Amino acid sequence: MQQPLLTRLRGLMGRRSLADGQGLLIAPCSSIHMCFMRFAIDAVYIDRDYEILKIVSGLRPWLGLSWCSGAWAVIELKNGEAMKYGLTVGDRFNRSR
């Protein structure tokens, strides 16, 4: 199910932080910007099979831009969470709901 345009556009803008273990899945999406963001994040790009294609750690507020060719979606996490959970390229998330 595709997210409404305004929800996708807003993303994490305006929020002060993310709680530990919390993230935002944006799909479909292959690129993100950090304009109007207040905190750094990790971006985890995945394909349609939920396999990790790319991990970008520490995207800085206002300055960060990121893109991943072939990505279907991105998961935005609190800065440092990708390393904390040991995520690596090639890992696959469980798609159960």
Residue 2 has pLDDT above 80, yes or no: no
Structural domains of the chain sorted by starting position, each given as residue range(s) with its CATH number in brackets: 5-84 (2.60.120.1140)
Distance, CA of 56 to chain centre: 9
Residues 51, 89: Cα–Cα separation, whole Å = 8
Distance set, CA 93 to CA 3, 25, 50, 60 (Å): 20, 12, 5, 25
For tokens 């993100």, the residue is 32
Query: Where does residue 90 rank: exposed (0-12), middle (13-18), buried (19+ CB within 10 A)?
Result: exposed
Which tens digits make up the pLDDT trace of 50-87? 999 999 999 999 988 999 999 999 999 999 999 999 99
pTM over 0.75: yes
Beta-bridge partner residues of 73: 46
